[in-house]
């Protein structure tokens, strides 16, 4: 199974190439929140999109009906379709969509509630429910592009995008589709999003220095930075791609999933169950620990989570191999984009294998004894990368891992 197109809107740029350029340059997407006045909140910053105009991708009157999370994924899908060179025929039933989100239309939910309180039930926007429900990101991609194949909407917190891509892989394997657009989207930078995660003490409170606030694996990390993004990859079976002479970015080797059955927010302290997802992905791809060249970590910049993932990687690869394998978290730059994380990190891993460059973990200054691997501090590295792993772990114990392989032709 191969990747023939990519599309993304991210805090580091509103297309995949700009995102990659800024990511590998070590830039941060964090800044003061612009979407609302955060002065009354404990956290005043986030990793927002810059200069994103949905009407570049969606007709103006229609765009007003979509929540921001759906607008972003439609934009990413149109970019990915164009990048792939694959023209979707009208009403085709051989092209499918698998789009994840962790929360869905949070801004629309908040607006609906505010209207209810301020103006009464008769004045609630009739488009509120279709804007709120999490499946509408996938649904709008399907409606806008005209696909009639499998249509999925995974909602498994921060593991959702990896599961969406894994589901798309299986749909092609099982003969349900020839082409799948798969990815994720999240627009949680709202009053209720920042307020809710802030109340959990999950967010960094470095209001005086937003750009250095997200610092995965660093000893002074104090929580994640909220991000937003939409990203999609186009997947095809190899012979289908060759038949139309498509450019090929990488091979999607396999995926693995597991559950912690542990806690609503805290990860499995042993690392056994997330490591099982990593090993399952390697088995599915026909590779072993010795073949892994790079790991794009979940690495959220939380004290418990990053230490736990270090144990997970050692468990999955073995202590000796884990210490030799470069690991980075791109959330230092993008923030934590929740249900969209896996999609933008899959694109990161795809480019890493295609270009033999691994991106840095920015803001890494102070080593943590519990996090003792090679985290590619602060600067990108030229590194032969034939096989990459991409981890994502979600609240409630959802674990998912993808294997991305260099395409050898």
In angstroms, the CA 312 to CA 331 distance is: 18
Q: At how many degrees (to 10) do helices 341-355 and 16-24 cross?
A: 70
Q: Which two tokens stand for residue 203?
A: 């967010």
Residue 17, Cβ neighbours under 10 Å: how many? Answer: 12
Residue where the block lists tokens 């990390």: 221
Q: How far is CA 398 from CA 118, 137, 154, 261, in A?
A: 38, 21, 12, 9
Sign of torsion, CA 100 101 107 109? positive
From the DSSP assignment, how many helices (H) and strands (E) are in the chain? Answer: 14, 14
Helix (H) or strand (E) holding 155: none
Q: Residue 296 — φ and ψ, nearest 5°? A: -90, 105
Q: Which two tokens stand for residue 316?
A: 């999955």
Q: What is the set of active-site residues?
A: 158, 298, 336
Residue where the block lists tokens 């910049």: 301
Sign of torsion, CA 25 26 28 29? positive
Contact 286, 253 (CB under 8 A): yes
Find residue 398's DSSP bridge partners: 259, 394
Residue where the block lists tokens 């990860």: 267
In angstroms, the CA 281 to CA 380 distance is: 26
Q: What is the 3-state secondary structure (H, E, C) of 26-53?
A: CCCCCEECCCCCCCCCCCCEEECCCCCC
Q: How far is CA 214 from CA 18, 55, 121, 194, 226, in A?
A: 20, 31, 41, 15, 9
Q: Residue 124 — φ and ψ, nearest 5°? A: -70, 140
């Amino acid at each position: 199974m191969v990747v023939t197109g990519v599309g993304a809107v991210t805090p580091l740029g509103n297309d995949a190439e700009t995102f990659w350029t800024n990511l590998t340059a070590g830039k941060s997407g964090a800044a003061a929140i612009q979407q609302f006045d955060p002065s009354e909140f404990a956290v005043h910053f986030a990793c927002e999109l810059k200069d994103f105009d949905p009407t570049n991708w969606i007709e103006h009157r229609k765009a007003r009906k979509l929540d921001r999370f759906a607008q972003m994924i439609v934009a990413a899908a149109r970019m990915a379709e164009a990048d792939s060179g694959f023209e979707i025929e009208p009403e085709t039933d051989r092209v499918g969509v698998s789009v994840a989100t962790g929360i869905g239309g949070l801004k629309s939910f908040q607006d609906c509630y505010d209207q209810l309180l301020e103006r009464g039930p008769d004045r609630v926007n009739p488009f509120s429910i279709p804007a709120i429900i999490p499946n509408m990101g996938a649904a709008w991609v399907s409606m806008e592009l005209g696909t009639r194949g499998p249509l999925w909407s995974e909602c498994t917190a921060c593991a959702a995008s990896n599961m969406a891509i894994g589901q798309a892989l299986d749909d092609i394997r099982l003969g349900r589709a020839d082409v799948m657009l798969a990815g994720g989207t999240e627009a949680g930078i709202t009053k209720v999003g920042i307020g809710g995660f802030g109340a959990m003490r999950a967010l960094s409170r470095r209001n005086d220095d937003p750009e250095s606030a997200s610092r995965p694996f660093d000893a002074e990390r104090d929580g994640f930075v909220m991000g937003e993004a939409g990203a999609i990859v186009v997947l095809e079976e190899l012979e289908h791609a060759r038949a139309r002479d498509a450019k090929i970015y990488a091979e999607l080797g396999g995926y693995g999933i597991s559950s912690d059955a542990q806690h609503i927010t805290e990860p499995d302290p042993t690392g056994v169950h997330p490591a099982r997802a990593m090993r399952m992905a390697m088995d599915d791809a026909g590779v072993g620990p010795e073949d892994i060249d790079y790991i794009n970590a979940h690495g959220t910049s939380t004290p418990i989570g990053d230490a736990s993932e270090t144990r997970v990687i050692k468990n999955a690869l073995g202590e000796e191999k884990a210490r030799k394998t470069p690991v980075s978290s791109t959330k230092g730059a993008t923030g934590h984009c929740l249900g969209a994380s896996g999609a933008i990190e899959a694109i990161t891993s795809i480019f890493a294998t295609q270009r033999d460059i691994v991106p840095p973990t920015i803001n890494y200054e102070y080593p943590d004894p519990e996090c003792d691997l090679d985290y590619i501090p602060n600067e990108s590295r030229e590194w032969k990368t034939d096989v990459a792993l991409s981890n994502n772990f979600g609240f409630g114990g959802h674990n998912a891992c993808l294997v991305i392989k260099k395409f050898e032709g």
